[in-house]
Amino acid sequence: MANHPVQTVSPSGDKLKVVLAVLAVVAGVVGFYFLSDKTTAIRAGALIAGLLVAIGLAWTSTQGREFLSFAKESVRETKKVVWPTRKEAMQITGIVFVFVLVMAIFLWGTDKLLEVLLYDVILGWK
């Protein structure tokens, strides 16, 4: 007996809702720049209104709810990050600088050695 993959089908209206949500964001941004002669509060209000309409439309679609759920989980995971202390950050930065210096000296030495071998020994140019 063969296992057939199951494909979920979303309503066709969901795609329209996502497109409308994107258009609402674009309308908010366009409104922000179109109202350049108005106060900053009005311009920001147009931008925020576009974003709120987009979020509302996205929330009613399956893809939108999945994206917003993913965004919430991403924020939750970001809060779990343990940042290094200042001392640890300085130590790691020092190690990186020392490694870069050692690599620079190594590459310079390799370049000079190859230069001497190629020009002086093999080609005989001085």
Confidence (pLDDT) at 1: 55
Confidence (pLDDT) at 121: 81
CA-angle at 31, arms to 30 and 32, nearest 5°: 90
Confidence (pLDDT) at 70: 92
CB 21 within 8 A of CB 52: no
Confidence (pLDDT) at 10: 58
pTM of structure: 0.49
| Residue numbers of the chain with a pLDDT score lower than 70 | 1-2, 4, 6-12, 126
